[in-house]
A and B are shown apart, each in its own frame.
Chain A
Amino acid sequence: MNEELDSQLSAMFDDELPAAECELLARRLSRDEGLKARWGRYALIGAVIRAERGVVLQSSLAGRVNAALTHEPLLASGSGAARWSVSPWMRMVSGAGVAAGVAALSILWLRAHALAPSGAAVMSVASVAAPAAAAQGGAGGASDSYVVPPASAQPVTPMPPTQLADYVVAHSAYSWPISGGSLLSSLMVSEAGSLSAPAPSHRRAAGHGHATRHPH
């Protein structure tokens, strides 16, 4: 049952839950403290992920949330909470890829961060403690409406792109050949102009990794 509820919550956040189910879930959410706490945790995670441009709650989801919670306690406010973003999950098209696609990954990951305004060069909030704080806030808040929390101006430390590339390469060795083949080709799918190699500084900064020049 919990699994089903979690699945529905997650779908709601992904804007993938049918309207009728959404309404039922919203009603349950308004009277179930445990579920509300879980919602708070999801909210924060979602906010953190979506906050690359820190704006407002996604409109359709915002409507549902507001409809459900207009008279309910505050869910996800509190210090350190992130803003919602208009953008959906970062959909950085690239593909799957066997090793080749992987290089693209690091590149596209970089690009995602580059898209953020200078004041929030990377996602606005992301401390590990945030979900717990959100959950507590969700259970014990006292506001009568949903409040979009303010964005944090504090910068965060992103994963080095080369590290991500290494992970994807390592993972591709365990993928189904079909997935691997798809990944291979996805690298090429990215626009030529968007493809840029990780900066040498990133590679050198990445601990044991380092860039070397090869003779031609």
Chain B
Amino acid sequence: MAMRRAIRTSERLGAWAVLWVFGGAVALAGQPAQWLERMNHALTTLDYEGTFAHWDGGRVQMLRIIHRLKNGVVSERLVSLDGSGREFIRTGSDLTCYLPDKREVLVEHIPSKRSLIGTVPILNKETTRFYALHEGAQERIDQHLTRLITVMPRDQYRYGYRLWIDRAGMPLKIQLWDARHGGRVIEQIVFATLRIDRNIPNSAFQPHLSTAGYRWLRTQSPPAQKNSGLVWHALWLPPGFHMATHVAQSMPGAIGPVEHLVYTDGLASVSVFVARPAHAHAHPPAVESAHMGASYVFSTFVDGHRVTAVGEAPARTVRSIAVSVRARRASYSALPGGPFAHAVPPP
């Protein structure tokens, strides 16, 4: 009964979302692109609550998510339903991680001041040069009508997605897949229940556990400082990638501001961080890497600076961008999409 009610609500909001989102939509990339635009908008602006299964590396966990956008402030709460009791609550730019198994609470700050809407990718003719968008048949997921949209990468530098999107624009099922391996699914999320609710109370974003006796840890960063006069850039980028953002921000563990370069092809993005370590190393700095579901991190050292690339792209893409990063004097003109992009083969 609750599910049927949720579906009806969802369908009503779906019609609303269509009108809202596509009043000014560009039909350039066709219907699949519009579905993705609709989904982006729904994910970031609708208020919803649901439970879902997250499959990653053969493990499955059940989670509950609550999302609300009220007066321009995003509130999110994610709760593990599998016994760990962990909760993650985001309010605006603060993310609080409750770890009952460690009796600790971590508070992290999200440095970007951009609105969530600002994160929505631009799907245009350029994007479709590197991804093929397909609109599949209608499919039912738990009696919920969805449309399958496939985002297929045209080369090996990026991942693909399969998205089952309902009429409200919510993705009820998401698969991240690697085209290089016959479409191997890397990660999957499937909603078991989903309810659009425009009246989610503040109490829904309170932790359901007592933190008495917990240790609280918070990272605090001073304001950004002026940079060193060096301009960092990637000598090699995959086709279609360009610099979208270049900011300097203060971060713990670095002398001076950390350069943050964001390269994107419209869907996938790779951040490059360049930092001068706060302490001289007694030992050689480590080159490190890690996989995190869809994301990959690679860190190396260039001219005494730690260069770290993070991105939801294949390891090869992230690694190649990171090892191509170099500095030049600020007087040399820079670069969004600049003169060095594609100038040399991947290192």
Contacts and interface: CB of A to CB of B under 8 A. Distances in A.
Contacts, number: 349
Interface residues of A, number: 93
B227 interface: no
18 contacts: A10-B319, A91-B57, A93-B56, A94-B293, A96-B295, A126-B301, A156-B286, A162-B252, A164-B299, A169-B108, A170-B111, A171-B262, A176-B312, A184-B65, A187-B78, A195-B102, A207-B252, A208-B254
Contacts of B110: 99, 169-170, 172-173
B133 interface: no
B91 to A, nearest CB: 11
B290 to A, nearest CB: 5
Contacts of B218: 211-212, 214
Which of A154, A156, A171, A177 has the most C-beta atoms of chain B within 10 angstroms of its own C-beta? Answer: A171
Interface stretch (A19-27, A104-112, A140-148): A104-112
A139 interface: no
Contacts of A203: 217, 219, 252
Contact of B59 (A3, A128, A189, A216): A189
Given A90-B289, A183-B292, A166 B310 contact: no
Given A159-B306, A208-B254, 15 more contacts: A3-B346, A95-B292, A100-B88, A127-B301, A156-B283, A167-B310, A171-B262, A173-B114, A174-B112, A195-B99, A197-B99, A207-B279, A209-B251, A211-B217, A212-B218
Contacts of A198: 106, 217
A93 B291 CA distance: 6
Contact of B97 (A100, A122, A157): A100
Interface string A6-25: 11001100101000000000
B86 A188 contact: yes
Contacts of A160: 252-253
A189 B314 CA distance: 20
Give 8 closest A-B pairs by Cβ, nearest first. A209-B252, A95-B293, A173-B112, A100-B88, A207-B278, A2-B345, A214-B216, A171-B271
A165 interface: yes
Nearest to A208: B252
Contact of A159 (B283, B299, B312): B299
A205 B65 CA distance: 34
Contacts of B24: none
B251 A213 contact: no
A101 B292 contact: yes
Interface string A116-143: 0000001101111000000000000000
